[in-house]
Amino acid sequence: MSTPATIDDFDRLDIRAGTIVDAQPFPEARKPSIRLWVDFGGTIGVKRSSAQITVHYAPDRLIGRQVLAVVNFPPRRIAGFESEVLVLGVPDENGAVVLLKPDLRVPDGGRMF
C-alpha cells in the first residue's frame, strides 16, 4: 500500500492538459521511448517530455492528442534530451503505458483539480 498523502501534497502537483504538437522516435534512450512536445498554451507554452509509450503509440499518431502532465517537476536529462514535464499514464494488463487524457477536448493549460 502507498504512503498516505494529504490534500496539501496533491495541491503541490500542477497537473495540466496539453496537446501534443510534435512526437519523434527516441532511439538514444535506454528503454524504447518517444520524445514529445506538448503545448500547454498561455504562460506555460510548449514543453518537452520523454515517454516510454512505444507499445501502444506511434509518434505520427500522437500529434493533436490531448494528454495530462505534471508541469512543476524539475527538468531531467534523458540520453541528452531535457524532459521538462511528466506525461501521465497507467499500465495495461501487460505493464505497457496507456496515456491519460480528458474525455472531452479542454483548453490547453487547464489545471486538474
Reference 63, options 4, 22, 106, 2; nearest CA is 22
Domain coverage including residue 61: 18-99
pLDDT confidence of residue 42: 92
pLDDT digits (tens, 9 = 90+) for 92-109: 999 999 999 999 999 999
Looking at the 3D structure of the chain, how many domains does it have? 1
Inside any domain, residue 74: yes
Inside any domain, residue 8: no
Q: What is the CATH number of the domain that holds 66?
A: 2.40.50.140
User: pTM (2 decimals)?
Assistant: 0.94
pLDDT digits (tens, 9 = 90+) for 6-34: 999 999 999 999 999 999 999 999 999 99
pLDDT digits (tens, 9 = 90+) for 56-78: 999 999 999 999 999 999 999 99
